[in-house]
Amino acid sequence: MLSKKAQLLFVILLFIAGCSILPREQSLLSALEKLVEYEEEFNKQQKSLVELEKKEKEIYDRVMSLGMKQFSEISRLSKEALKIIEKREKRIKKEYDSIQMAKKQLEAVKTEISLLSDQLIKEDASHLVGLLEKRYMTYDELYNYYQQALQLEIDLYRMFQNEQLTLEQLEQQVVKINSAYHQIKKANEQFNRYTVQYNEEKKALFEKLK
């Protein structure tokens, strides 16, 4: 028979051993919370991008309201717009990087799901992963369209610095930009639909895991 001291030591060792082994559900929750951190960085960049896009739109409207006789003012405004586009490029790069980190974290989430014994939670978590994969795929399309649109806008503002710019050249470039933003709008709408679904399913899963 164990002495009282030995029994106490045995209980302490069992407690320590138990604390060192996290339940699989807790491990999954931790992996998902890490993914959410990257998503928060994405959201932060989104707000900054919207502000910069608004500023550039104001400059664009101002330029379009001027005639080429006011070339010096158009040239000045165009250079200002190019600086804003440069800031947008930096923001979109940070946004892109946060999504790439979230993609990598999603692989860790998949590993945790494969180790679950609770089949109901496993099914819900697997469905969430599938939804996220579609969402990230849509983001990749959105990012590519956005990059194309940025380059077209850069070309436009450089064209504005050419005093020999014709109305036909301007119209052709504006058509290209509008077409690019039409693609962005469609991809963004799909991305937002996936985001709404993701947030709903994520909330439901977190409630089950906590």
Q: Has residue 7 been placed in a domain?
A: no
The answer to the question of residue 175 being in a domain is yes
Residue 89: its pLDDT value, please?
Answer: 96
Taking each helix axis as running N to C, give the angle between helix 167-209 and helix 24-65, from 0 to 180 degrees, rounded to the nearest 10. Answer: 160
Residue 74 lies in a domain: yes
Q: Does pLDDT of 15 surpass 70?
A: no
pLDDT, average across residues 39-47: 87
The pLDDT score that the predictor gives to residue 21 is 37
The number of beta carbons lying within 10 Å of the beta carbon of residue 186 is: 14
The CATH number that applies at residue 205 is 1.20.120.570
pLDDT grade for 41, boundaries at 50, 70 and 90: confident
Residue 8 clears pLDDT 60, i.e. is over it:
no
**Any domain includes 103:** yes
pLDDT in tens, 57-70: 999 999 999 877 79
CA distance 125 to 18: 25
Domain that holds residue 122: 23-209
Look at residue 12 and tell me whether its pLDDT is greater than 60: no
Domain membership of residue 189 (yes or no) is: yes
Does residue 11 fall inside a structural domain? no
Confidence band (pLDDT; 50, 70, 90) for 210?
confident
What's the rounded mean pLDDT across residues 190-208?
A: 93
Answer whether residue 9 is part of any domain: no
pLDDT band for position 209 (cuts 50, 70, 90) = confident
What pTM value is reported for the model?
0.84
Contact 13, 5 (CB under 8 A): no
pLDDT at position 13 over 60: no
Mean pLDDT throughout 33-51?
89
* pLDDT reported for residue 68: 74
Q: Is residue 85 part of a domain?
A: yes
Q: How high is the pLDDT of residue 4?
A: 45
pLDDT confidence of residue 39: 87
Q: Provide the 10 A C-beta neighbour count for residue 180.
A: 19
9-23, 113-127, 132-146, 170-184: range with lowest mean pLDDT? 9-23
What's the structural domain count of the chain?
1
Confidence (pLDDT) at 208: 85
How many whole angstroms separate alpha carbon 185 and alpha carbon 181?
Answer: 6
